[in-house]
């Protein structure tokens, strides 16, 4: 703490008591105090007398392109500003209305698609039962030639 | 109220409105601290001053981002330290290039301007040569974060909280950096600290 500010009278007294009780700490304390002095008393690095003027020149030089860019955009900004609050609110309302209409259209599409799928499902419910379809696969795998039909007839006979 | 009495935050609010007088007042107030820090990070007086100027230019260009709730010196030293670290990184990548080497595409970079007066007074020089050289040497051998923490603490009187913000680390880490830095300096300067030569030369 003494490295940051002078100690108060009370702190000085407490420190003196501590050092009396621990004489070995005295040397360490003195070194610490001298180190703080060393750091605090380091000579300031010389700064050129025109430092501030040089900074001002650099600011002027480096902010010139930014000002030019800003100037290029200023007519557009002025045009936007000239719109006024009424126009801005109107535009916001229009954007909101278009957004709501788009969302509703999307919902309608989703519902139509769902209806179509439900209709397809109900059509499937009217198709023949599983028993009817059980021989469907073997019949499908029979060869389509006339010789096969004859073989089948012979077999049935 | 003159610019001299105004707080840094009040001056920065004026800078945000483009007030050049307020900006110059801030530069005058803090140039010594920034140059001290930069010089002890990159020990070259000309380059240190150039980098310190860049730090103030950055302050002006980023003034719109400054919030009055933040302490100005914390913000300023953070900018200065980041510039130093960038320069150290750049030097490690291109060791042969000096700071004044022209950088393609950066306007005005080649027109580096040097100040007119930059020398220690005879009295300062004597002290600088005799004793502070030892301290400067010991400081320069510290790791960058320990050195910056110590300098901001001892020379610029920044609070630990503010130093932690500049170094982008926790409060306890900051205290640890300062402690370790002081401990290393104490070991390296033991002879001088025991003899009290510094005091004798100054008083």
CB contact under 8 A, B185 and A35: yes
Which is nearest to B27 in space by CA: B79, B102, B96, B89? B79
Q: Is the pLDDT of residue B76 over 60?
A: yes
CB contact under 8 A, A55 and B136: no
Check if B123 contacts A (Cβ < 8 Å): no
CA distance B160 to B168: 12
CA distance B109 to A125: 81
Chain B (62-101) residues lying within 8 Å, Cβ to Cβ, of chain A: none
CA distance B177 to B158: 14
CA distance B103 to B105: 6
What is the sign of the dihedral through the CA atoms of B159, B165, B166 and B171?
Answer: positive
Q: Is the pLDDT of residue B26 over 70?
A: yes
Which pTM does this prediction carry? Answer: 0.64
User: Tens digits of per-residue pLDDT, B100-150?
Assistant: 444 443 444 444 445 554 555 555 555 555 677 888 889 999 999 999 999
Q: Which of A44-48, A138-142, B76-80, B116-120 has the lowest mean pLDDT?
A: B116-120
Q: Are B58 and A70 in contact (CB under 8 A)?
A: no
Structure token digits, residue B154: 């001892």
User: How confident is the model at residue B147, as a pLDDT?
Assistant: 95
Q: Which residues of B touch A47 (CB under 8 A)?
A: 31-32, 35, 49, 52, 115, 118
**To the nearest whole angstrom, how far is the Cα of B37 from the nearest Cα of chain A?**
9
- For chain B, counts of helices (H) and of strands (E): 11, 0
User: Tens digits of per-residue pLDDT, A91-135?
Assistant: 899 999 999 999 999 999 999 999 999 888 888 777 777 776 777
CA distance A27 to B190: 11
Chain A (63-122) residues lying within 8 Å, Cβ to Cβ, of chain B: 63, 65-66
Cα–Cα distances in Å, from B58 out to A62, B64, B152?
A: 10, 11, 20
Q: Is the pLDDT of residue A145 over 60?
A: yes
CB contact under 8 A, B135 and A38: yes
Best residue in B50, B112, B113 for a mutation probing chain A (most A CBs within 10 Å): B113
If you average pLDDT over every residue of chain B, what do you get?
Answer: 81
Residue A140's pLDDT band (cuts 50, 70, 90): confident
Q: Is the pLDDT of residue B99 over 80?
A: no
User: Tens digits of per-residue pLDDT, B81-90?
Assistant: 999 999 988 8
CB contact under 8 A, B24 and A56: yes
CA distance B92 to B85: 11
| Inter-helix orientation angle B45-61/B72-93, to 10° | 130
If you average pLDDT over every residue of chain A, what do you get?
Answer: 81
User: How confident is the model at residue A4, as a pLDDT?
Assistant: 63
Higher pLDDT pick, A139 / B10:
B10
* Facing residue for B193 by CB, picked from A34, A42, A50: A34
Check if A38 contacts B (Cβ < 8 Å): yes
Cα–Cα distances in Å, from A141 out to A102, A144, A151, B62, B102?
A: 51, 9, 15, 80, 84
| Residue bearing tokens 């180190």 | A35
DSSP B101-113: S--TT-TTTTS--
Stretch A35-59: mean pLDDT: 89
Q: How large a percentage of chain A has pLDDT more than 90?
A: 22
Q: Which residues of B touch A50 (CB under 8 A)?
A: 115-117
- For chain A, counts of helices (H) and of strands (E): 7, 0
At A111 the three-state DSSP class reads: helix
Query: ipTM, 2 decimals?
Result: 0.76
Q: How large a percentage of chain B has pLDDT more than 90?
A: 48
Q: Is the pLDDT of residue A1 over 80?
A: no
Which is nearest to A42 in space by CA: B127, B178, B197? B127
Structure token digits, residue A148: 């096969």
């Amino acid at each position: 703490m003494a490295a940051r500010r002078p100690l108060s009278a009370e702190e000085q007294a407490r420190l003196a008591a501590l050092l009396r009780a621990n004489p070995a700490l005295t040397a360490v304390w003195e070194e610490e105090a001298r180190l703080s002095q060393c750091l605090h008393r380091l000579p300031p690095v010389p700064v050129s007398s025109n430092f501030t003027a040089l900074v001002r020149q650099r600011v002027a030089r480096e902010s010139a392109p930014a000002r030019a860019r800003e100037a290029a955009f200023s007519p557009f900004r002025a045009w936007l500003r000239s719109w006024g609050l009424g126009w801005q609110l109107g535009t916001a309302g229009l954007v909101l209305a278009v957004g709501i209409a788009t969302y509703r259209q999307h919902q309608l599409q989703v519902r139509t698609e769902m209806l179509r799928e439900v209709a397809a499902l109900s059509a499937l419910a009217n198709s023949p039962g599983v028993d009817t379809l059980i021989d469907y696969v073997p019949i499908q795998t029979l060869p389509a030639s006339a010789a096969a039909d004859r073989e089948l007839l012979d077999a049935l006979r | 109220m003159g610019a001299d009495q105004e707080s840094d935050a009040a001056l920065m609010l004026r800078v945000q409105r483009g007030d050049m007088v307020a900006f110059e007042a801030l530069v005058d107030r803090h140039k010594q601290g920034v140059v001290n820090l930069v010089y002890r990070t990159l020990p070259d007086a000309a380059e240190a001053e150039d980098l310190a100027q860049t730090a103030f230019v950055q302050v002006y260009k980023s003034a719109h981002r400054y919030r009055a709730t933040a302490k100005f010196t914390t913000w300023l030293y953070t900018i200065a330290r980041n510039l130093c670290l960038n320069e150290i990184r750049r030097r490690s990548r291109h060791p042969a290039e000096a700071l004044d080497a022209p950088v393609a595409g950066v306007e005005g970079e080649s027109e580096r301007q040097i100040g007119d007066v930059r020398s220690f007074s005879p009295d300062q020089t004597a002290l600088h040569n005799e004793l502070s050289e030892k301290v400067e040497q010991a400081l320069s051998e510290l790791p960058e974060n320990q050195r910056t923490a110590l300098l901001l603490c001892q020379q610029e009187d920044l609070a630990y909280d503010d130093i932690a913000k500049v170094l982008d680390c926790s409060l306890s880490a900051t205290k640890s950096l300062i402690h370790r830095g002081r401990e290393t300096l104490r070991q390296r300067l033991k002879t001088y600290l025991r003899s009290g030569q510094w005091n004798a030369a100054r008083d």
